[in-house]
A and B are shown apart, each in its own frame.
Chain A
Amino acid sequence: MPDIIAGLALLLVISGIAAIYHQSWTVHAIVAVIALALAIYASATGAMLKGRIKGSSTDVFWLHRRIGVSLGAFVLGSIIYGIWIRLQHADPILSSVHGRLGLIILIGMVLQIVPSLVKKDRTAYRGLHMVLGYLLPAILVIDSAWGLHIGVLSETKYLVLAHSISGGLAALAFVWIILETMYPTEMGLGRARIASFAASLLVIAGCWIAGGYNYLTDYGSNVKPAILAGGYPWAHQILMEAKEHVFIFLPIIALSLSLTIYYLDDDRFAGDRRYRRAIAEIACMALLLVLLMFLMGAIVSKAGNTGLEA
Chain B
Amino acid sequence: MREPATFLASAAFTIFTTGCTIIAHELSADLRGLLVAVTGHHWLSVSALAAALFVTSSLLLAGSESIRRTLKAEDIALWSRVLMAVTMFMTLGCLMVYTIHYISG
Closest residue to B76 on the A side, CB-wise?
A: A278
Whether the pair A238, B98 counts as a contact (CB closer than 8 A) is: yes
Interface of B is mostly: helix
Q: How many residues of B contact A (CB 8 A)?
A: 40
Whether the pair A256, B83 counts as a contact (CB closer than 8 A) is: yes
Within 8 A of B (CB), among A231-256: 233-234, 237-238, 241-242, 244-246, 248-249, 251-253, 255-256
Instruction: Assess whether B99 is interfacial by the CB under 8 Å rule.
Output: yes
- Say how far A132's CB is from chain B's closest CB, in angstroms: 35
- Say how far B34's CB is from chain A's closest CB, in angstroms: 16
Closest residue to A233 on the B side, CB-wise?
A: B102
Kindly supply a per-residue 1/0 record for chain B positions 2-44, scoring 1 wherever the CB is within 8 Å of any chain A CB and 0 otherwise: 1111011011001100110010001000000000000001011
The residue that A282 contacts in the complex, of B18, B22, B83, with Cβ under 8 A, is: B83
- Say how far A235's CB is from chain B's closest CB, in angstroms: 10
Q: How many residues of A contact B (CB 8 A)?
A: 37
Instruction: Assess whether B56 is interfacial by the CB under 8 Å rule.
Output: no
In the complex, A264 Cα to B80 Cα: how many Å? 14
Closest residue to B80 on the A side, CB-wise?
A: A278
The residue that A208 contacts in the complex, of B3, B26, B47, B102, with Cβ under 8 A, is: B47
Within 8 A of B (CB), among A194-225: 208, 212, 215-216
Instruction: Assess whether A87 is interfacial by the CB under 8 Å rule.
Output: no
Closest residue to A209 on the B side, CB-wise?
A: B47
Q: Taking A249-B91, A260-B4 as contacts, is the C-beta distance between A285 and B84 under 8 angstroms? A: yes
Residues in chain B near residue A245, CB distance under 8 A: 22, 43, 46, 94
Residues in chain A near residue B11, CB distance under 8 A: 252-253, 255-256
Instruction: Assess whether A274 is interfacial by the CB under 8 Å rule.
Output: yes
Within 8 A of A (CB), among B62-85: 76-77, 79-81, 83-84
- Say how far B76's CB is from chain A's closest CB, in angstroms: 4
In the complex, A260 Cα to B74 Cα: how many Å? 11
- Say how far A118's CB is from chain B's closest CB, in angstroms: 47
29 A-B residue contacts at CB 8 Å? A208-B47, A212-B43, A212-B44, A212-B47, A216-B41, A216-B44, A237-B101, A238-B95, A238-B99, A241-B98, A241-B101, A246-B91, A249-B18, A249-B91, A252-B11, A252-B54, A259-B4, A261-B4, A263-B7, A268-B4, A274-B77, A275-B76, A277-B77, A277-B80, A278-B77, A279-B80, A282-B8, A285-B83, A285-B87
